[in-house]
Amino acid sequence: MQRIQPLQAPRRRPGRDLPAAATAMAQENAAFSPGPEEQPRRRGRQRYVEKDGRCNVQQGNVRETYRYLTDLFTTLVDLQWRLSLLFFVLAYALTWLFFGAIWWLIAYGRGDLEHLEDTAWTPCVNNLNGFVAAFLFSIETETTIGYGHRVITDQCPEGIVLLLLQAILGSMVNAFMVGCMFVKISQPNKRAATLVFSSHAVVSLRDGRLCLMFRVGDLRSSHIVEASIRAKLIRSRQTLEGEFIPLHQTDLSVGFDTGDDRLFLVSPLVISHEIDAASPFWEASRRALERDDFEIVVILEGMVEATGMTCQARSSYLVDEVLWGHRFTSVLTLEDGFYEVDYASFHQTFEVPTPSCSARELAEAAARLDAHLYWSIPSRLDEKVEEEGLGEGAGEEAGADKEQNGCLPPPESESKV
């Protein structure tokens, strides 16, 4: 007979078959301390302003379309190029056809077309023998070409009045259409294409304070005069009364009070927004920033040095395009007698040690450190008594708490007694 072996519980392999509580705790710890390359998955956010500066907003259900006709000049300038060229051609062609038809009607009403071979007959317009000839005479009159073959006579008062009317209206059409095309050609939109923004924004320490930074540059040698920079935070919010405000705009200070928002844009500049108590990111830590949903719109304005026209360049940064703990690579080098800008490194960043806590927590940690230094300097004996009373365990617990918050003071901030 075969001997029946008693049932035994399967052995647990290390790292597998953990209890549910331990598994949940491990997942919670892993979620609390993500690796530098782990990014939370988020749904793709629709941009309010594209990277090239185009505003991603369309006007729908506009019923009062007559308002566009009240400002016809701006409407024509805002049209696409193919529509502008079509309107340009139609404006001249329809004007020539309209007056050509009137010249033909005058010749037909006077009977000039019936006395083409009569040399004793004085027509309104010499050598006008049909609609094509009237159309050509209309073109010659409005464009002041004057070939001399077809010419108006002094025996046609209605033709003289029509000639004066066409000359005046033709000048108005020329001024209107040439003005539209000139403004459309000279628009500074293409100048904005040579104003570049960094592909990412960064958050790192500057003078011991957290700052949100991005870089701007000008590719042309002709500079932007009176350049100024602005930044807007686009984020939906809900008021205390329950009102939902979509795409709420909040100003981000980039040096308006100190004048740092006015730029001398000869070489690329790093624009900094200090995260202080007035900043909307005052209480945002690294993890909170990654979970947030917002868009930062940056606007650079100035006058084109060559034309004197106002130019505006725009760009935006989503949450995924804000790098925490990075700094921009330097692009300016000193050569023999001049400075050289390397735009190959314009968008490059590198990692730097940066606390992962919020700016408020960092300020509180710095305040506690200053208070600790103030009370520890007068008496070294008090410090020894405090250390003996608290014990080593309390010190380790406080250090672990600071490390968990990511607000450890820099090494040079340690007290030296």
The pLDDT-based confidence of 10 (bands split at 50, 70, 90) is very low
Tell me which amino acid residue 113 is.
L
- Is the CATH number of domain 66-186 1.10.287.70? yes
Q: What is the pLDDT of residue 376?
A: 56
Q: Where are the domains of the chain?
A: 66-186, 191-360
Q: The tokens of 233 are what?
A: 């935070």
Looking at CATH, the fold of the domain delimited by 191-360 is given as Immunoglobulin-like (2.60.40)
What pLDDT digit, counting tens, does each position of 70-115 carry? 888 888 888 888 998 999 999 999 999 999 999 999 999 888 888 8
Tell me which amino acid residue 222 is.
S
What pLDDT digit, counting tens, does each position of 283-309 carry? 999 999 999 999 999 999 999 887 888
Taking the model in full, what pTM does it have?
A: 0.68
Q: What dihedral do alpha carbons 352, 341, 190, 319 form, nearest 10°?
A: 0
Same fold for the domain at 66-186 and the one at 191-360?
no
What pLDDT digit, counting tens, does each position of 319-347 carry? 999 999 999 999 999 988 899 999 999 99
For residue 387, give every residue at least 6 positions away whose Cβ sits within 8 Å of its Cβ, in sequence order, or none: 395
Tell me which amino acid residue 39 is.
Q
What pLDDT digit, counting tens, does each position of 223-267 carry? 899 999 999 999 999 999 999 999 999 999 998 888 899 999 999
DSSP characters for 157-208?
HHHHHHHHHHHHHHHHHHHHHHHHHHHHHT-THHHHTTEEE-SSEEEEEETT
Tell me which amino acid residue 186 is.
S
Q: Please tell me the number of Cα atoms within 13 Å of 214 on its side-chain side.
A: 25
